Amino acid sequence: MSDVWSYDPGYRPDDPRHGLSPDELTEFYLSRPATWLIRCTYGPDGLAKRNDALPAHIAYYKARRDQIRFVGPIVKDDGETPIGSFVMVDADSRKAAEDFIAGEGFVQAGMISKIEIKRFVETSLNERRQLEMTPDPSKQLFLCELIDGPDGAEKRKSTGPAHHAYQASVMDSFIARGPMRSDDGRGVIGTTYIIQVDDRAAAEAFVAAEPMSKAGVFSEIRIDRWRFGKSID
């Protein structure tokens, strides 16, 4: 039997995941559409190339908007200066996700020095999408990537109820949330949030208060300012 999620996760009785065994829960997640998080980091000359590459970048995403859940630039804390891009895309496999990102305008222009791809499961059963949402203009958006340490799976076992209670208490701050999983979808390797909060200090406090953070589940925490892109408007 798999030991993934082999604790009481604390799901509410009205949640379809309530009462599932660890193996049943894994199969539940495997039944969901395959979604991939793709983070692209600009190279040293990326910003200089951006304006010329932008039309092709926009056209590429606009033509594939039905695949895209969220897309937009990763920016400095000034909220304006791009340092990379992030897209959450539906694709059947890692190879399909790799092929998807290889064709986009910024990659084709040689702007990108690093591409990171991770499988993801949107926790919201409503499968939220950017085109259906309007962020609060008084808030800032942050991409939070929380990577499990080598003993993360073991430490997750003791944090399930507290983790879900915490998420319920801050639900209004989430744009998207869910576990990152191994390429085959069976193992949990981390957690990703997109949140809207007042500022970076609030984003850092949000992540620090997460019971999994307190339990030492994560070996790496990345919190980056982000915004909705205009390429799929």
Same domain as 175, residue 84: no
Least confident of 89-93, 130-134, 212-216: 130-134
14-28, 100-114, 119-133, 177-191, range with the lowest pLDDT: 14-28
Q: What gap in Å lies between CA 229 and CA 198, rounded to an integer?
A: 20
Going by C-beta distance under 8 Å and a sequence separation of 6 or more, which residues neighbour residue 149?
155, 216, 217, 218, 219
The more confidently predicted of residues 158 and 104 is 104
Judged on CB neighbours under 10 Å (0-12, 13-18, 19+), 157 is middle
Helix (H, G, I), strand (E, B) or coil at 113: strand
Is 9 within the bounds of a domain? no
State the pLDDT confidence band at 103, using cuts at 50, 70 and 90.
Answer: very high
Which of 95, 120, 145 is at the close of a domain?
Answer: 120
The better pLDDT of the pair 152, 21 is held by: 152
Domain that holds residue 161: 123-226
Please check the confidence at residue 10 and state whether its pLDDT lies above 70: no
Last residue of a domain, one of 79, 98, 120: 120
Higher pLDDT, 46 or 12: 46
Contact 215, 155 (CB under 8 A): yes
Same domain, 93 and 130: no
* Band (24; pLDDT cuts 50, 70, 90): confident
| In a shared domain, residues 142 and 160 | yes
Domain final position from 120, 144, 175: 120
Residue 91 covered by a domain: yes
In a domain, 231, yes or no: no
Asked whether residue 104 falls in the same domain as residue 150, the answer is no
C-alpha–C-alpha distance, residues 202 and 189, integer Å: 25
**What predicted TM-score, i.e. pTM, was given to this entire model?**
0.90
Q: Among 53-57, 68-72, 126-130, whose mean pLDDT is lowest? A: 126-130
Q: Which tens digits make up the pLDDT trace of 36-52?
A: 999 999 999 999 999 99
Q: Is residue 26 included in any domain, yes or no?
A: no
State yes or no: pLDDT of 1 exceeds 90. Answer: no
| CATH code of 217's domain | 3.30.70.1060
Closest CA to 71 of 141, 130, 139: 130
Q: Is residue 8 one of the residues assigned to a domain? A: no
